[in-house]
Structure 1
Amino acid sequence: MLFVLRMLLMGLHFVLAGVLGVVVGICRPFNPDNSRICARLYALPAMYILGLRVRADVGTLEDKSQSCVIIANHQSNYDLFMFGNVVPRRTVCIGKKSLKWVPLFGQLFWLAGNVLIDRGNAIKARQSIQMTTHTLQHEDTSIWVFPEGTRNFGEDLLPFKQGAFRMAIAAGVPITPVCVSRYIKPMRLNRWRSGDILIRSLPAIPTAGLTMDDMPQLIAQCREQMRNCIEAMDRQLQVA
């Protein structure tokens, strides 16, 4: 019964947050700080509705001194509510083009200045990557990417795609990994207290001076650091 009630409230909340987000987007279209505001609109009420407690240690993300590529593990659609609490200022996200067909959320995503990529069209996808590289270099704006490309449903990290790392190397900006603990299996939405979730950002990894030949090693380094961080957070929650 509690699960059903929460899902009904989440549906209502999703619509209301979408309406407010579209209003924000219409008032200041394509402002790169719209994403942070809209992320908070979704995330903060959702934590209370779902009965989740999120503890974030993201000092390296909040204190970033320049544009960067932010990479995060992607477990489920709930990531919107988890990571929404820690999106920093002037940060936009890369998403698949089909998102624009999601009522309210798709329009909000577009008006927030996020980047929609047509993964089925290699030329258009490459043009979008070039545009985001220019954004990183000249517009004091960071890019948030889920390098796995799809949800891992709380299992081990999937292989990372090259797009985020290609952008970072081309723009010469650092990569900041952000990790959330595995929450899919431990989460119990039929209980008043559904679970605890940890979010942690890691020190920025510089890319200045790297070439595309260095990309495989960079990907392996980032993936290994994120895997170790996620496992450490999972252990911390198990003994808490």
Structure 2
Amino acid sequence: MLAVIRLLILALFFVMSTIAMMLFCIIRPFHRNNVYHVAKLYGSMHKLFGVELEVRKHPSIKSDEQYVYIANHQNNYDLFTISAAVQPRTVSIGKKSLKWVPFFGWIYWLSGNILIDRNNRSRAAGTISQAANKIKDNKLSIWMFPEGTRSYGKGLLPFKTGAFHTAVQADVAMVPVCMNSTCKRISLNKWNNGKVIVEMLEPIKLPNNAKENIREITNQTHALMHDKIKQLDAEVGIKE
């Protein structure tokens, strides 16, 4: 019964929020803070799922600087949890095909996110340059999921290097964003689904030779985030 009530409330939320966000994005299309406001709206819905959410931000992260944020991507509940950590003047990179998905895709596009063609490597490479230029020219930050897909309880998947190349080209630091494991921990039929911690780690400034050692840096960052996720899992009581 609880699951039914939650689903009904969620359906109503999607209808009302979609209408509101469509109007919002049509009035100010591609504004650099659209994604931030949309993310905060969705992030506020964590309470509906009986989740206590804590977002931690390293004190060295400055509001007036640009970064490439890299986060672990687990499941569809990320929309209501890790999205709460999205910072002002931040956009994401998604599949070009999203542009044609009614309502959600339109909002995603009008919000100012960057769309890429994942089936075309040359265009994807060009998008890295496009993202880097947006960071420098428009003073934007980029939010990326370096795993490239949801992990669905398989642990932190191997990272692709696109986010790291973007940071190198834009000459900005990277901020790892780690969230404890949520797969199979959130049930629509439970009142209390425990605590979820999202922690934004200290910015990582890439070395001058980063381009030549991009895979090594990628693997080192993966190991750093893997260890932090394990720490967060232990903190909320998740056993291996």
Comparing 208-217 with 29-38, greater Cα deviation is found at: 208-217
Q: How has the CA–CA distance of structure 1 residues 79 and 56 changed in structure 2, closer, same or farther, with 3 Å as cutoff?
A: same
Q: How has the CA–CA distance of structure 1 residues 16 and 163 changed in structure 2, closer, same or farther, with 3 Å as cutoff?
A: same
> For residues 99-110 of structure 1, what are the structure 2 equivalents within 5 Å?
99-110=98-109
Structure-2 separation of matches of 1:195 and 1:189: 12
C-alpha deviations, 1:137-183, integer Å up to 9, x for none? 22210000000000001321111011100111111110000011101
TM-superposed deviation, 1:188 = 2.4
Residue 24 of structure 2 corresponds to 24
TM-superposed deviation, 1:42 = 1.7
Q: How has the CA–CA distance of structure 1 residues 205 and 64 changed in structure 2, closer, same or farther, with 3 Å as cutoff?
A: farther
- Given that residues 181 and 197 in structure 1 are in contact (C-alpha distance below 8 angstroms), is that contact kept between their aligned partners in structure 2? yes
Share of identical aligned residues, percent? 38
Matched, 1:200 2:199: yes
Residue 40 of structure 1 corresponds to 40
Structure-1 separation of matches of 2:14 and 2:100: 15
What amino acid is aligned across from residue 122 of structure 1 in structure 2? Answer: R
TM-superposed deviation, 1:59 = 3.3
Query: What stretches of structure 1 of length at least 5 have no aligned partner?
Result: none
Structure-2 separation of matches of 1:85 and 1:62: 16
Structure-2 separation of matches of 1:34 and 1:70: 17
- Given that residues 92 and 142 in structure 1 are in contact (C-alpha distance below 8 angstroms), is that contact kept between their aligned partners in structure 2? yes
Structure-1 separation of matches of 2:220 and 2:18: 37
Residue 144 of structure 2 corresponds to 145
Q: CA RMSD in A?
A: 1.6
Matched, 1:111 2:110: yes
Q: TM-score, normalised by structure 2?
A: 0.93
TM-superposed deviation, 1:225 = 0.9
TM-superposed deviation, 1:72 = 0.1
Matched, 1:162 2:161: yes
> For residues 56-135 of structure 1, what are the structure 2 equivalents within 5 Å?
56-60=55-59, 63-135=62-134
- Given that residues 42 and 80 in structure 1 are in contact (C-alpha distance below 8 angstroms), is that contact kept between their aligned partners in structure 2? yes
Q: How has the CA–CA distance of structure 1 residues 149 and 112 changed in structure 2, closer, same or farther, with 3 Å as cutoff?
A: same
- Given that residues 58 and 202 in structure 2 are in contact (C-alpha distance below 8 angstroms), is that contact kept between their aligned partners in structure 1? no
TM-superposed deviation, 1:126 = 1.9
What amino acid is aligned across from residue 158 of structure 2 in structure 1? Answer: P
What amino acid is aligned across from residue 41 of structure 2 in structure 1? Answer: L
Give the SS at the match of 1:116: strand
Residue 7 of structure 1 corresponds to 7
Q: How has the CA–CA distance of structure 1 residues 96 and 132 changed in structure 2, closer, same or farther, with 3 Å as cutoff?
A: same
Paired residue total: 238
- Given that residues 174 and 208 in structure 1 are in contact (C-alpha distance below 8 angstroms), is that contact kept between their aligned partners in structure 2? no
What amino acid is aligned across from residue 16 of structure 2 in structure 1? Answer: L
**Structure 1 residue runs of 4 or more that deviate by more than 4 Å after TM superposition:** none
Q: How has the CA–CA distance of structure 1 residues 56 and 220 changed in structure 2, closer, same or farther, with 3 Å as cutoff?
A: same
TM-superposed deviation, 1:11 = 2.0
- Given that residues 95 and 117 in structure 2 are in contact (C-alpha distance below 8 angstroms), is that contact kept between their aligned partners in structure 1? yes
Structure-2 separation of matches of 1:64 and 1:219: 25
